[in-house]
Structure 1
Amino acid sequence: MSATVNDLQAQVDRLHHNLQTVTAQHELATQEGDLITVSDYLLTRLEQLGVTSIFGVPGDFNMRSGNQDYIEDHPRIQWVGNCNELNAAYAADGYARIKEHSVGVVVTTFGVGELSAINGIAGAFAEMVPVVHIVGVPSTLQLKTRPLLHHTLGDGRFEAYMKAAQQVTLAQASLMMKVNAPAEIDRVLTECITRSRPVYLTIPFDLVGEQIPAKRLTVPLLRSPPLNDPEVEAYVIDSIVKRVEEAGQDVIILVDACTIRYGVREEVLDLVNKTGFPVFAAPMGKTAVSEQHECYGGIYMGSLTDPGIKDRVEKAKLILSIGALKSDFNTGMFTYSIPPTHTVELHSDHTLVRYAQFPGIGMKLLLPKLTARLEEYRKGADRVIVPHYKPVIPQEADTRISHAYLWPRVGQFFKEKDIIIAETGTSSFGLFDIPLPDNAIFLSQVLYGSIGWTVGSLLGAAIAARDLKLGRVILFVGDGSLQLTAQELSAMIRYGVTPIIFVINNEGYNVERRLHGMYRKYNDIATWKYTSLLTTFGDIGGTASRSFTVRDKASLNRLLEDPEFAKANKIQLVEVIMDKYDTPRALEAGSAMSMLSTQKSSQ
């Protein structure tokens, strides 16, 4: 099936959904109470999608219309006020990553607010996270007449912000008439949940309180992907089964980011359980499958992989790659040694079997049928040995905390259902090799890599975790990254979440030092008193938080073994003093390869 035909199928599905909506409207035409404000319509749709918190910063184009009042007065949706719009976008991103079948929502004002948020929205777009960006804008009359308003560029180009948003969002809607507001809201939200990317919605302040029919709300938004062409799908499954037979049971599964983003965790787990094939993960697919599963073998990232794992993956006769996202850091600086002749790739909207591409054959609907066909190979897979990677805490004479020591040691601290968030660079590379407990969730922004993302994301993730009754939320962030977005600690205190925050104090940008300028001053940062941040940013009396500094292995161990610390019943910050030039193994190797690649490309 061609991509064009697949698009047409998606349109047919949307038209079918609209037909259901019209039918519901007709059936309810005589009922009373069928009017609702534009703002309440939008909030009801978001509530139907599982949203319980909305992030943002108030502005006059939001408040003047009462839009902020509608949110604050909603009985089941919490308004979470952030310190700035960038952090709000990061928080919405983190929230959506934890609430995998919901969306994150950020609300900003026109111009100054939305541009502040755009970097966070761009990160969500790059990493395929469903975020709804709602912008309060001038009135419909002002949008038409374009007076010299504040928050504009002063030249009448009111559409400039929409054009900017178009670069980092999948779909956009600018509401100008109440008559089509429900359809436009439904359109962008449907795009957001089915294609897992941010969308952009502007609401003029004079439309917020306008009354519109509520009848469409009786029909849930369409979540299912477009149907696969049955004949092509059957052919693809036959082709994959043939490749499995030719591989003589020497098959592995490699899961990646889109396994999580497109909601196929359960389908993949069923495939692993019923086939017994060994399963490995790319860095962005970490915890897509439980790292305690008997078939789990570890993280594969090309040449940066532990040798035992690298050998097992690259020597497999067939790799079923699910949801691959082949970015530089995710593939060990493009060092995957997996030929296409040994690979089947399953994606959200296409499938690759060796060199043949099948557009429109999506993995969500394909996987259950493929699993049913491959289940008979379980007996042979039972004889396959899966090399479980277990990091060893080194016996070092030096009392200082090294990266070689830190990461396997904190790995012993983690519990089931913990959420572990790692900042780009030092922390993420340190944790890639550490197997996490069952039902743990790992978050890191590997592709977009906006330093400081984790602090804002931590707030959203912690609020979502509290809603879902998950475990502790634990952040590992470098001192340089923390300084970009540290003020969001105040929102965490304000809204009562209790994460554990490990701050790696190595006096600057370690990942940048590894890439270039090892001894340059531009990679150094100002010295902060990190243990005073929580009291400075809101815990004035010092009763809602705890802060610690650990300078050696002994003090680190005492803290990690402290039952009160482990309870995480207060927000806690741990400053970990480390050598300025020490670095995790994988990051050191990866940065060396990156520098070599840069040198070659410049020659």
Structure 2
Amino acid sequence: MSVDIWEQGLKTPVPVAEYLFRRLHEVGIRSVHGVPGDFNLVALDYILKAGLRWVGSVNELNAAYAADGYARTKGISALVTTFGVGELSAINGVAGAFSEHVPVVHVVGCPSTISQRNGMLLHHTLGNGDFNVFANMSSQISCDVAKLNKPSEIAGQIDHALRECWIRSRPVYIMLPTDMAEKKIEGARLDTPIDLTEPPNEAEREDYVVDVVLKYLHAAKSPVILVDACAIRHRVLSEVHDLLEKTQLPVFVTPMGKGAINESHANYGGVYAGTGSQPDVAERVESADLVLSIGALKSDFNTAGFSYRTSQLNTIDFHSDHCTVRYSEYPGVAMKGVLRKVVERVDLGKLSRAPSPDVKNEVARNRDSSEIITQAFFWPRIGEYLKENDIVVTETGTSNFGIWETKFPRGVTGITQILWGSIGWSVGAAQGAALAAKDAGADRRTVLFVGDGSFQLTAQEVSTMLRHNLKITVFLIYNEGFTIERFIHGMEAEYNNISRWQYTEVPTVFGGSDAQVRKFVVKTKDELEKLLTDGEFIEAGGLQFVELWMPKEDAPRALKITAEVAARNNAKMSE
């Protein structure tokens, strides 16, 4: 076989696919989600060679959900699909990652550069000769698009894409043509790791912002810290915890920020979501004369229908690409450096502190005389079942809102999708999160809470859980349909009903043996108590599947409040 002139000049020739997958390994990825297709098959041969594991997902949408959960747990993830049919099946999951600032590397195997240049009428295309249409779609939900068409540029494109994915904490799209997968590029570059350090702020501008922040912080009489999702996604939790430890200020989280703070800390005050908050939490945050808001994503469900009663005049917002102090915005000044200097320079002698509300799992207060398992009882009780360092995945719907009432032990990772809110996401995300923990060598339980309606969308992902022997405990809430939709509109509407499945038989259908899976049906508080105190169940040696019965017309307090606001917003006439 002839060797290209380009390849003759290489010091260490390496196939493009090998280079790409070795770079994925370098940034911390150990498992690659996806589905094989004829345009990615040759590339897939290099996954094992790069020290990676091929997950073997059941479909591309579930693979994208799983990649999302993997990245939230391990820091970054990878997804491989085929051109057109595969990537479009995944695009909803990738869009969710973009919406919620989750770094996913989406690699799409596509037709050869020759086929593209000639506009050939190939399968998996729209039949119009346009090979860029799908990349153009994905460009709207990716922070970088790399089309690997020219060998001389490919290594630089890959390195740039992975850096952008990490720094900006959002998906990137890499288009790998079949005739490029085995083209040789310079492997010597692999000796130099990709620079993943975040660009520093301009020192003078950063110092100015720090001085302004400290001026208001020192003058405040009742300041509080409010931590949101982007504090997690943009990796400032160490700075946040340092700020908390040094200042001992009251600290609260939003629903999307749950798990960001050690909830066993004496200064932890609970979940703030406007009118969806517990009354003492709302009173404490809304009466503060300064709110240090870190990584805010003020979406409707994250704020219980935009119901914050805090003033921008009393708020300092810290973001990944700017800071806002009251009504003054400082573009290009990222929060990481600012927070670090605030911690270093804060004068504790000038700092005022007021106490936080006391947060407990209010089990006894929410236990009535009935044996029915209510939402109000269940979520605080789960707080007593959870262990340190658990991974807790909650589905859009009752679980997302119920978990607000659960106080986490130290080290719990909370995974939820409140902004994008794609039902069924949590099943794939739980698989990805559990696999990420396994890849990290961590002995952690993954606990999934999902409604029966949502589960039916992505139930096949149980097959992948079994395939990789993952330690996942599934609490399937059986309440006869789409509960959040019922509370927004149509409590008895046919479209909110679902078919009754034999849920505990699902793992069996997907090949789970009795040795692999433990199955339970729980209908009463006493049965729940017996299960949650069972030593073997707590240990969670493999897949555990719990069908948990709850009333059809019951929902968490916060969901009822938010659904009412959503219904009003949906009903508004145009002005």
Structure 1 residue 471: Cα displacement: 1.7
- 2:53 corresponds to: 78
Amino acid at match of 1:507: E
How does 1:270-285 map onto structure 2 within 5 Å?
270-285=242-257
Structure 1 residue 375: Cα displacement: 4.7
Structure 1 residue 228: Cα displacement: 1.4
Query: Take 1:320 and 1:379, find their aligned partners in 2: how far apart are those partners?
Result: 14
CA contact (8 A) 2:116 2:129 kept: no
The DSSP-based 3-state class of the residue aligned with 2:518 is strand
How does 1:183-202 map onto structure 2 within 5 Å?
183-202=156-175
- 2:414 corresponds to: 442
The DSSP-based 3-state class of the residue aligned with 1:320 is strand
CA contact (8 A) 2:223 2:352 kept: no
Query: Take 2:362 and 2:158, find their aligned partners in 1: how far apart are those partners?
Result: 52
- 2:452 corresponds to: 479
- 1:374 corresponds to: 346
Number of residues of Structure 1 aligned to a counterpart in Structure 2: 565
Structure 1 residue 538: Cα displacement: 1.7
- 1:575 corresponds to: 547
Amino acid at match of 2:344: A
How does 1:222-241 map onto structure 2 within 5 Å?
222-241=195-214
Match of 1:291 among 247, 263, 276: 263
Tell me whether 1:252 sits opposite 2:227 in the alignment.
no
Match of 1:164 among 114, 137, 143: 137
Query: Take 1:71 and 1:184, find their aligned partners in 2: how far apart are those partners?
Result: 19
- 2:14 corresponds to: 36
**Structure 1 pair 375–545 and aligned structure 2 pair: CA distance change class (3 A):** farther
TM-score by length of 1: 0.92
Query: Take 2:430 and 2:465, find their aligned partners in 1: how far apart are those partners?
Result: 9
Match of 2:321 among 332, 349, 359: 349
Query: Take 2:326 and 2:252, find their aligned partners in 1: how far apart are those partners?
Result: 20
Amino acid at match of 2:233: R
Tell me whether 1:506 sits opposite 2:479 in the alignment.
yes
How does 1:457-476 map onto structure 2 within 5 Å?
457-468=429-440, 469-476=442-449
CA contact (8 A) 1:274 1:378 kept: no
CA contact (8 A) 2:224 2:288 kept: yes
- 1:4 corresponds to: none
Percent same amino acid at aligned positions?
46
The DSSP-based 3-state class of the residue aligned with 2:570 is helix
Tell me whether 1:123 sits opposite 2:96 in the alignment.
yes
Query: Take 1:230 and 1:328, find their aligned partners in 2: how far apart are those partners?
Result: 36
- 1:67 corresponds to: 43
Match of 2:26 among 23, 48, 63: 48
The DSSP-based 3-state class of the residue aligned with 2:387 is coil
Structure 1 residue 590: Cα displacement: 1.2
Query: Take 1:478 and 1:448, find their aligned partners in 2: how far apart are those partners?
Result: 17
- 2:537 corresponds to: 565
- 2:107 corresponds to: 134
Match of 1:396 among 358, 368, 382: 368
CA contact (8 A) 1:140 1:204 kept: yes
- 2:3 corresponds to: none
Q: What CA deviation, in whole Å up to 9, does each residue of 1:295-351 have, x standing for no partner?
A: 111100001100001100000110111101110011111011110110001101101
Query: Take 1:232 and 1:211, find their aligned partners in 2: how far apart are those partners?
Result: 45
Match of 1:155 among 103, 113, 128: 128
**Structure 1 pair 495–378 and aligned structure 2 pair: CA distance change class (3 A):** farther
Query: Take 1:262 and 1:526, find their aligned partners in 2: how far apart are those partners?
Result: 41
Structure 1 residue 458: Cα displacement: 0.8
The DSSP-based 3-state class of the residue aligned with 2:396 is coil
Q: Flag structure 1 segments of 5+ consecutive residues without an equivalent.
A: 1-29
Q: What CA deviation, in whole Å up to 9, does each residue of 1:80-135 have, x standing for no partner?
A: 001100000111110000012xx110000111000000000000000000000001
- 2:301 corresponds to: 329
Query: Take 2:165 and 2:49, find their aligned partners in 1: how far apart are those partners?
Result: 25
**Structure 1 pair 378–387 and aligned structure 2 pair: CA distance change class (3 A):** farther
**Structure 1 pair 262–377 and aligned structure 2 pair: CA distance change class (3 A):** farther
Amino acid at match of 1:442: G
CA contact (8 A) 2:62 2:428 kept: yes
Query: Take 1:163 and 1:436, find their aligned partners in 2: how far apart are those partners?
Result: 42
Query: Take 1:78 and 1:229, find their aligned partners in 2: how far apart are those partners?
Result: 41
Structure 1 residue 434: Cα displacement: 1.1
Amino acid at match of 2:360: K
- 2:5 corresponds to: none
CA contact (8 A) 2:393 2:447 kept: yes
The DSSP-based 3-state class of the residue aligned with 1:61 is coil
Query: Take 1:385 and 1:133, find their aligned partners in 2: how far apart are those partners?
Result: 46
CA contact (8 A) 1:275 1:377 kept: no
- 1:6 corresponds to: none
Match of 2:282 among 287, 301, 310: 310
